[in-house]
Amino acid sequence: MMFTRLMESLAATESLSRVFSDGNVLQAMLDFEAALARAEARCGVIPAEAAEHITRAARAEGFDVGELTRLSLRAGTPAIPLVKMLTARVRAADESAAGFVHWGATSQDAVDSALVLLLGQCRDVLRRDQERVLQALRRLSGDHAGTVMLARTLLQPAPPITFGLKAAGWYAGVRRGWERVASRFDESACVQFGGASGTLAALGDRGMPVGEALSQELGLKLPDAPWHGHRDRLAALMAALSIYTGTLGKMALDIALLMQFEVAEVGEPGGNGRGGSSAMPHKRNPTACMLALGAAKRSPGLLADFVAGMVQEHERAMGGWQSEWTLVQGIVQGAGVALESMVEVVEGLKVDAARMRENLDATKGAVFAEKAVVLLTPELGKEAALRRVEEAIGGTGAPPDLPGLTTPEDYLGCAEEFRRRLLGEH
């Protein structure tokens, strides 16, 4: 069964589309309602038998999702028609139990708590690919610790580095990005439960005990108070995911540039429909990198919209939090498609070390001009050394002929130390 819509085919992964599928979103809201009933029964607020009926009825199977979607647009929230549908289902089994559905809660409690539950599922999906990309990048860096190549600054040739160092830079950026994301997932994993005005007044002196029991039922943290109008935790997570996606996009851009015909130093893995052209059979396009870059370009705009929506009125917003579902889905899916794409790229990346050396040699030693100045300075002084090297390059396109000048392995500085430090091996 397909969960990704055609319109989202370049912006979503199948695994995350499953998380955000209609049935799964519906089940997350129903999980809140069932957990609330069990928590209230544990605290003596509602009869245990009522909680059992509510829990049995809170299964997505049999709900008319199309009708729920239509009614949600009319109601301004899916929680209102959902509670009515759930109540009707409970009533069919037990009339008295139906009156305890959604007891003491408000619509936003169900919607926000469901979103947090869905984000927890997203975290599990992303974590698996994160582990794969780190493992592949570490291996790639180790395999090419001594593979010399041109550095490129402002897209122009610069003194040599190693491909192992470049891969280690990608590794460290992705690792730092995930550490931020993981910490923000932790911070935002809070149940939403405040009732009509965020005071749980309908539950009297049982409000806090029910909140604690509800958080335990859902496996979420109980915040100091409801956060209906305070979206900073979610905003911080969206920002971390956007930065993470940007880091993956930087890696994708580096690889795509190295794949250009004129450079040809690396290549994406092909096959299974990846990288072809409908008009030019000779092409091997950096398709996976393209998808990651597309995600990195979308994410900042979605994040800006989310942050704009943080400015919310009083205890319950009108339009602010209602805009979040599509933004959250877009940002999370962007991170997911960028990550999944780059896992495929890095695990199967073809590295042409010989071509890297050819491109370095094609500069005729010009990229060692800095080294030539360093070698000549003790004898001529820095200004005279600079003039001498500039004159040589201007006339021949190459620096002065000095012993060992153009041996790249002799001008790598701290490259290997930096590589190991980036991998956490120092």
- pLDDT, tens digit (0-9, with 9 covering 90-100), for 136-162: 999 999 999 999 999 999 999 999 999
pLDDT of 197 strictly over 90: yes
Any idea what the CATH number is for the domain that residue 21 is in?
1.10.275.10
CATH at residue 261? 1.20.200.10
- 66-113 pLDDT, tens digit each: 999 999 999 999 999 999 999 999 999 999 999 999 999 999 999 999
C-alpha distances out from residue 340 to 17, 101, 260, 284, 349, Å: 13, 40, 22, 19, 14
Q: Do 328 and 396 fall into the same domain?
A: no
Q: Each residue of 114-134: pLDDT tens digit?
A: 999 999 999 999 999 999 999
**203 inside domain:** no
Q: Which of 63, 59, 62, 68 is nearest to 34 (CA)?
A: 59
Domain encompassing residue 9? 1-104
Do 166 and 311 share a domain, yes or no? yes
The pLDDT value recorded for residue 2 is 65
Residue spans of beta strands (DSSP E) within 260-331: 266-267
> Please, which residues bridge with residue 271 across strands?
274
pLDDT of residue 130: 98
Is residue 372 situated within a structural domain? yes
Same-domain check for residues 281 and 327: yes
Distance CA 241, CA 302 (A): 11
Does residue 207 lie within any of the structural domains?
Answer: no
* 388-408: average pLDDT: 85
Crossing angle of helices 324-348 and 232-258, in 10° steps, is 30
Q: Are residues 146 and 175 in the same domain?
A: yes
User: Measured between alpha carbons, how far is 342 from 349 in angstroms, rounded to an integer?
Assistant: 10
Distances (CA, A) of 315 to 192, 197, 214: 13, 7, 21
Mean pLDDT of 23-29: 97
Per-residue pLDDT for 406 more than 90?
Answer: no
Question: Which two three-digit tokens encode residue 268?
Answer: 């994406």
92 and 140 share one domain: no
Tokens of residue 181, six digits: 């994301």
Average pLDDT over residues 21-49: 97
Q: What residues pair up with 221 in beta bridges, in sequence order?
A: 190
Q: How far apart are CA 16 and CA 250, in angstroms?
A: 22
Residue 253 falls inside a structural domain:
yes
Residues 340, 371: one domain?
no
**CA-CA distance, 275 to 285, in Å (whole number)?**
4
Domain boundary among 104, 122, 153: 104
Of 89, 76, 68, 84, nearest in space to 26 by CA? 68
Q: Are residues 125 and 49 part of one domain?
A: no
Q: Is 176 inside any structural domain?
A: yes
Q: Are residue 188 and residue 334 in the same domain, yes or no?
A: yes
Same domain, 73 and 144: no
In a domain, 239, yes or no: yes
Find tokens 């919310």 and name the residue.
312
Identify which of 57, 77, 61, 58 has the alpha carbon closest to the alpha carbon of residue 69: 77
Determine the average pLDDT of the residues in 310-328: 91
What burial class does residue 342 get, using C-beta atoms within 10 Å of its C-beta: 0-12 exposed, 13-18 middle, 19+ buried?
buried
For the chain, the domain total comes to: 3
Mean pLDDT of the chain: 94
117 and 153 in one domain?
Answer: yes
Catalytic residues: 277, 316
350 beta partners: 267
Distance in angstroms (rounded) separating the CA atoms of residues 88 and 63: 11
The reply to whether 177 and 313 lie within a common domain is yes
Q: Coil, helix or strand for 405?
A: coil
* Digit-coded pLDDT (tens) for 296-306: 999 999 999 99
Last residue of a domain, one of 305, 322, 357: 357
Band of residue 4 on the pLDDT scale cut at 50, 70, 90: confident
Confidence of residue 283 (pLDDT cuts 50, 70, 90): low
What was the pLDDT predicted at 277?
47
pLDDT at 279: 47
- Name 59's Cβ contacts closer than 8 Å, sequence gap at least 6: 27, 30
Looking at 104, 135, 150, the residue that finishes a domain is 104
> Which of 239, 191, 148 has its CA nearest to residue 33?
191
Q: Are residues 80 and 150 in the same domain?
A: no
* pLDDT on residue 143: 98
In whole angstroms, give the CA distance from residue 418 to residue 426. Answer: 9
Three-class secondary structure of residue 91 per DSSP? helix
Inside any domain, residue 241: yes
222 in any annotated domain: no
Q: What is the pLDDT of residues 245-280, one digit of tens each?
A: 999 999 999 999 999 999 999 999 976 656 554 445
Top pLDDT among 11 and 355 is at 355
| Sign of the C-alpha dihedral computed for residues 416, 422, 423 and 426 taken in this order | positive
Task: Report the 10 Å Cβ neighbour count for 260.
Answer: 10
Note whether 86 and 78 are within 8 A (CB). Answer: no
Q: Give the count of alpha carbons within 13 A of 377, CB side only.
A: 10
Q: Would you state the pLDDT for residue 49?
A: 97
